[in-house]
Amino acid sequence: MQFLRGSAFWNEGSFNAENDSFVEGTAILCSSRISATITHHGTIMQGRAQYIVFQWAPDITIGVINVYASNDTGERARFWNRIKNFPLPEANWILAGDINMIEQLEDKQGGLPTTRRGRREIEAWNALMLHLGLHDVYLADEFRRVTRKRFTWENKRSALEMICSRIDRFYVNEAIRDIGGTTGIWRSTPHISDHTAIFMKLRRIGTPQVSNRAFNRQLLNDEEGKAILLQAWRDSIQANHQHTWNYRIAQALQAVKKSSDEETKRRKQKWTTEFEEQFIEVYDAEIMLQENWNNQEAREKLNEAQAQLQKVRQERMER
Q: CB neighbours of 95 closer than 8 A, spacing ≥ 6? A: 65, 67, 83, 128, 132, 134, 170, 171
pLDDT in tens, 27-46: 999 998 899 999 999 999 99
The identity of residue 110, as a single letter, is G
Q: Between residues 202 and 281, which one has the greater pLDDT?
A: 202
Q: Between residues 147 and 77, which one has the greater pLDDT?
A: 77
Interatomic CA distance for residues 41 and 149, integer angstroms: 32
Return the pLDDT at 270.
84
Q: Does an H or E element contain 49, and which? A: strand 49-57
**Closest among 45, 110, 53 to 80, alpha carbons compared:** 45
Residue 17 confidence (pLDDT) above 80: no
Helix orientation angle between 296-318 and 280-291, rounded to the nearest 10 degrees: 160
Residue 203 confidence (pLDDT) above 80: yes
Average pLDDT over residues 241-247: 94
Do 76 and 70 meet the contact criterion of CB atoms below 8 Å apart? yes
Average pLDDT over residues 197-208: 83
Interatomic CA distance for residues 80 and 127, integer angstroms: 8
Average pLDDT over residues 198-226: 82
**Closest among 172, 154, 166 to 285, alpha carbons compared:** 154
Return the pLDDT at 316.
59
Do 268 and 253 meet the contact criterion of CB atoms below 8 Å apart? no
Return the pLDDT at 167.
97
How would residue 297 be classed by pLDDT, with cut points 50, 70 and 90?
confident
How would residue 201 be classed by pLDDT, with cut points 50, 70 and 90?
very high
Do 228 and 259 meet the contact criterion of CB atoms below 8 Å apart? yes
pTM for this model (two decimals): 0.74
When mean pLDDT is compared across 30-34, 59-63, 95-99, the lowest value belongs to 30-34
| Phi, psi of 73, deg, nearest 5 | -65, -35
Q: CB neighbours of 174 closer than 8 A, spacing ≥ 6? A: 133, 135
Average pLDDT over residues 288-300: 78
